Structure formats: structure tokens, C-alpha cells
Amino acid sequence: MNLTLILFIVLVVVAVTSAAGLLVSRNTVYAALFLVLNFATVAVFYLLLGAPFIALAQVTIYAGAIMVLFLFVIMLLGSEKLPRGQVLPWQRPMAIVLAAVLLAEAGFLLFQRLQLTASLTNPEASVNTTESLRALGMALFTQYLLPFEVTSVLLLVAMVGVIVLTKKEKGEQG
């Protein structure tokens, strides 16, 4: 047991537990906070994989911006408690069975291709952080410059769209 393996196991436990907390918590605010914890553990996974830029983007964009937006909307809508009881009585067991089937299928594929994945280099073979960051920046601003600029248009469209959607018509009440 080396340190990396122990860290990995702890992270897996925290990630799965926080995802389960998201699924079962009745209070929407708690669900959002569980999701923040999950995003933080995924960010540490990225660090383990030698991707510091993605890890920090994960913390600032997901755990920072997106979850603050979520919490803001939860506060705005009064974190409404929905009544218990399903409209479709078979929905919950059916959903659990389907999710188990999906997980089993993914596990089967993983197990079947174990030879293939084992033949690849192990993820944490030492990585030069400065070099990889420089290469990432170069790729982003040369080879992928057009997609990068298109995302700025996408964000602008989303911003304008949201403002138009939530704008009240003239003379409309509340």
C-alpha cells in the first residue's frame, strides 16, 4: 500500500458517498453541497492524473460558478419540498434496475477490455507540470483556436438568451 493508492481509495469512497448523498437528500441545499464535495474530489482525481489546469478549472467553474448559480436559484425558489409518493409506483424500482444494468454493462466492457487498458501506460507516470501546461496553452491557442473563439460566442448567446428568457414583459405582474 503506497500513499497514492490510499489517497485513491479515500477519494473513491468520498466521491461515491457524496454522489449517493445527492441522490437521497430531501433538502435541495444539502444536495447542492454534496455535489460541491463530489466536484472537489473529481478535481483531486485530475491532479492525480497530472492535469492541474483542468483541476483548477473544475474548482473555479464547477464548484465556484455553476454551484453558486444553483444555490442562488434554490434560494430564489424557496427550496420547495415536493410531496412524497410517486405518481408512477413502479418508477423507482424500475429506475434502480435500469441503473444497475447500466453499471453492470460498463463493468462488463471494462473487464472485457482489461487487457487493452492494462497495456497502456499507467496514468500517473511522472509528469512535468510546467511543460504540460505550456503544451496545453500552445494547443489551445494554435490548433484549437477556432473552437476556443466559438465558445466565447456560445457563452455570449447563452447570456443574451437567459436575459431575454427571464425578462418580464411590459406591464406583466410578478
Partner 1 sequence: MAQTIPLSGYLAISAALFAMGTLGVLIRRNPLIIFMSVELMLNAANLAFVAFARSFGVLTGQIFVFFVMTVSAAEVAVGLALIIIIFRNKHSIDVDLMNSLKG
Which residues in 39-68 contact partner 1 (CB under 8 A)?
39, 42, 45-46, 48-51, 53-54, 57-58, 61-62, 65-66
**Residue 20 near partner 1 by CB under 8 A:** yes
| DSSP code of residue 90 | T
Which residues touch 58 (CB under 8 Å, ≥6 apart)?
39, 42, 43, 46
How far, in whole angstroms, is CA 44 from its chain's centroid?
13
**Residue 165 near partner 1 by CB under 8 A:** yes
Q: Which of 87, 112, 146, 170 binds partner 1 (CB under 8 A)?
A: 87
Q: Which of 10, 56, 140, 145 binds partner 1 (CB under 8 A)?
A: 140
Identify whether the C-beta of residue 39 lies closer than 8 Å to the C-beta of residue 62: yes
**Residue 155 near partner 1 by CB under 8 A:** yes
Nearest C-alpha neighbor of 123 from the set 59, 53, 45 = 45
**Residue 22 near partner 1 by CB under 8 A:** yes
Measured between its terminal Cα atoms, the distance across the chain in Å is 61
**Residue 129 near partner 1 by CB under 8 A:** no
- Write down the least CB distance from residue 170 to partner 1, Å: 16
